[in-house]
Structure 1
Amino acid sequence: MARIHWQDGRDLLTRAVAPGVVLFAVLAGFGLLITGPLDRLDDAEDKVTDAFNRNRTDFWDPISWVCSRFGNTEVVIGVCLIAVAIIWWRTREWRWAVVPLIAISLQATIFLFLTLLVGRQRPPAIPMDASPPTSSYPSGHTGASTALYFSLLLMAAARIERAWLRRLLMTLCAIVPFLVGIARLYRGAHHISDVVAGMFNGVVCAVLAYQWYRHRARAERPAPSLASAAGQLKRS
């Protein structure tokens, strides 16, 4: 079982937090553009919102409600903690187990500061839910679910040996964030660019968390001894 080392925190800062600052700057720049010089984009996006409004039905309303709840804070945190516990139980690798936790934490931090900076208004739609007191940009539901499930997708691709189970889990993890994003549009909570930005935030945060683990795993591998290196040279 790997021990916690000061280098874990240092690498987390340099390989996840620092790139996360760059990600924040990119998303903030885009958000300020679409609420400033490119605010005419709202006209095109409002057409998408109107289309969802006109096509709401008694069949899709409850389905969208369920899909939207997959991005709720309490659901994302609950699923993440269960996943962390199961992964720790199966592998006893704490660094591997906390990858999804790092991903959603980084995503949430970036999301919070973006909402404070950009302050975009919600779309002119008939809302189906009580919106949280944050701006429309980016979609927190989409970002949180993407960070969680995309990190689990990467982990499944790397570790699950049974092909059918690996493909099943990867497919499910890819579908859930997409369903959350569509549900948020359907329920009038976000513009389409809010959802796209949230998904981008989640994907990048998941990749950063996963790459942090890979770097730490390589750094923790023992260096080959001189005897084993000499044996490899002889065999070659």
Structure 2
Amino acid sequence: MNHTFIHRYEIDRSRPPVGSALRDMALRVLAPAIVLFGIIVGLGFLIVGPLGDLKSENSISKALADGRTATWNSITAIWSHVGNTEIIIGVCVIVVALVWWRTKEWWYAVVPALAIAAQASVFVAATTITGRDRPTVPHLDPAPPTSSYPSGHMGAATALYLTFAMMAQRIELPWLRRLVTSICIIVPLLVGYGRLYRGMHHLSDILIGAVNGVVCMLLAWNYLRRKTSGTTVDSRAREAVRH
């Protein structure tokens, strides 16, 4: 990924007017998210329609269900719950508050919240319209009122923790930066496997949920117009972009 894109909030730290930031959100997040919603719904209709609900995916869910053990049931319960709505919102609120307090840059601190809000909007609308049934295996988690497609847990965890991974690039200690980045990338993978193992989603639900999360993260990270060249580049940001 382009280093200028990753460090865009360090390169240009100027405070945007609230009205300008809201316009940027509408044009650079809301409008593209509507297009994303259309694509995800279209794929959902293709899956439950002409593709016959991808019946072959049930073999994956059944194989995982047949191989369940008490130990892995307990481990995946934790992984699955990391993507729960209350956990995602709680972690997001804490991080947003801490980043806002440390940087005094509200326009930067709100990026994780914007990412999960965009993801959630696309997910809720798409799952309501598509209405795909969950895998025909015993479910180890309570089934939420939403349908199986796409995975909201996977989308939310991906959007949130990949945003944290982007934010972690500000950490100056190389080993700590790599550690935090790695953890933030691994967490959504664990959530996705947990939901698949526990019979809550088909594989395609997980994959499309991940796509939703990645795209919404990128839209949120890019929501604010920033100057990434010229005199706005300070020495620290210039060094970060160079490396």
Normalising by structure 2, we get a TM-score of: 0.86
Instruction: Give the equivalent residue in structure 1 for 2:20.
Output: 7
Question: Residues 173-200 of structure 1, C-alpha deviation per residue, up to 9 Å, x if partnerless?
Answer: 0000000000001110000000001111
Tell me which residue corresponds to 2:177: 166
1:209 — aligned with what?
220
Number of aligned residue pairs: give it: 219
* 1:107 equivalent in structure 2: 119
| Cα distance change of structure 1 residues 192 and 94 upon mapping to structure 2, 3 Å threshold | same
CA change 1:39–1:223 in 2 (3 A) is: same
Q: For 1:115 and 1:184, how far apart are their aligned partners in 2?
A: 16
Gaps of 5+ in 1: 225-236
**CA positional deviation for 1:218:** 2.5
Q: For 1:37, what is the secondary structure of its paired residue?
A: coil
| 1:179 and 2:190 aligned | yes
Distance in 2 (CA, whole Å) between partners of 1:8 and 1:203 is 22
- CA distance in 2: counterparts of 1:33 and 1:187, whole angstroms: 25
| 1:36 counterpart = 2:46 | no
**Which of the pair has the greater relative contact order for Cα pairs under 8 Å at 6+ separation?**
2
Alignment counterpart, residue 102 of structure 2, candidates 90, 108, 111: 90
The question of 1:53 aligning with 2:65 is answered: yes
Q: Is the 8 A contact 2:16 2:107 kept in 1?
A: no
* Shift in Å, 1:39: 1.5
Between the aligned residues of both structures, percent identity stands at 48
Is 1:152 the counterpart of 2:161? The answer is: no
Name the counterpart of 1:230: none
Instruction: Give the TM-score, by structure 1 length.
Output: 0.89
Shift in CA distance, 82/183, structure 1 to aligned 2, threshold 3 Å: same
1:227 corresponds in structure 2 to none
Q: Which residue number corresponds to residue 18 of structure 1?
A: 31
Which residue, out of 177, 184, 189, partners 2:200?
189
- Name segments (4+ residues, structure 1) moved above 2 Å: 1-5, 221-224
Which residue number in structure 2 is paired with residue 233 of structure 1? none
* Distance (Å, rounded) in 1 between the aligned partners of 2:158 and 2:97: 20
Q: Is the 8 A contact 2:24 2:223 kept in 1?
A: yes
**Distance between the aligned counterparts of 1:129 and 1:41, measured in 2?**
22
Change (3 A) 1:94 1:40: closer
Partner of 2:40: 27
Q: How much has 1:169 moved relative to structure 2?
A: 0.8
Tell me how far 1:161 sits from its aligned partner: 1.9
